[in-house]
């Protein structure tokens, strides 16, 4: 099938101070293989909540997510963790790199956790660093990298296991204009390579890069 990810009637509510807050109110979404899906919306609209559910980092109050035709939430948390490591790559607004590991070690770690031989994980990490133009930073710790370099390392880490799906949550939100543009060029390259990407953003300029663009408004998703 051409559809890699299908969300059906997703609802998500939180209970805060004796009040029910409805974040998602029946979201449907189909992500075809090789598409670059951008979900646009202002801060607080539920974009991150939706992305976390699509990536099985959170569970919906009701509804289902089919990944490669299988309902993600039919698995327990340990099984979901394996699926995420093997088949999904995540990029967040804040890089979440491990501070005590070098750029290369951060990139190689997901492959090592997936049972990859150390030499293969190392060589793959070098290849990704070279591809993203930061091979000279391979031995630098995260604190020794610029914000843009840290985000490129984070994208490389997301690709370490050659995932079927890349999920990005406001990946440029913490960058200056120059580094934002560099990172967006990288996502365009990944799109042109046929990677399947779901990215959430509050920026209309970034939304224009998508092959499929949606607006998340009042808990519902609308095609733009």
pLDDT in tens, 25-36: 999 999 999 999
pLDDT score at 30: 96
Global pTM? Answer: 0.89
pLDDT score at 176: 77
Q: Which residues pair with 215 in a beta bridge?
A: 40, 222
**Is there a contact between 145 and 101 (Cβ–Cβ < 8 Å)?**
no
Number of folded domains that form the chain: 1
Domain enclosing residue 144, as ranges: 3-223
Question: Residue 139's domain is classified under what CATH number?
Answer: 3.40.50.300
pLDDT score at 37: 95
pLDDT score at 149: 87
pLDDT score at 1: 60
- Taking alpha carbons only, the member of 55, 42, 39 closest to residue 206 is 39
- Tens digits of residue pLDDT in 100-138: 999 999 999 988 988 889 999 999 999 999 988 889 999
Backbone angles phi, psi at 203, to 5 degrees: -100, 125
Q: Which parts of the chain have pLDDT scores under 70? A: 1, 95
């Amino acid at each position: 099938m051409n559809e890699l990810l299908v969300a059906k009637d997703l609802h998500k509510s939180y209970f805060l101070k004796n009040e029910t807050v409805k974040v998602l109110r029946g979201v449907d979404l189909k992500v075809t293989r090789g598409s670059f899906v951008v979900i646009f919306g202002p801060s607080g609209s539920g974009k991150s909540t939706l992305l976390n559910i699509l990536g099985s980092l959170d569970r919906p109050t009701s509804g289902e997510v089919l990944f490669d035709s299988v309902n993600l939430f039919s698995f327990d948390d340990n099984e979901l963790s394996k699926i995420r490591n093997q088949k999904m790559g995540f990029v967040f607004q804040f890089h979440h790199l491990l501070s005590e590991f070098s750029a290369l070690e951060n990139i190689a770690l997901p492959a090592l956790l997936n049972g990859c031989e150390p030499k293969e994980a190392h060589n793959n990490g070098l290849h990704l660093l070279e591809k993203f133009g930061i091979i000279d930073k391979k031995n630098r710790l995260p604190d020794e990298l610029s914000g843009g370099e840290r985000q490129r390392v984070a994208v490389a880490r997301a690709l370490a296991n050659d995932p079927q799906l890349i999920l990005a949550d406001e990946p440029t939100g913490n960058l200056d204009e120059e580094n934002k543009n560099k990172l967006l060029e990288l996502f365009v390259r990944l799109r042109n390579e046929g990677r399947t990407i779901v990215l959430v953003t509050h920026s209309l300029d970034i939304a224009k890069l998508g092959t499929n663009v949606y607006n998340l408004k009042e808990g519902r998703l609308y095609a733009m």
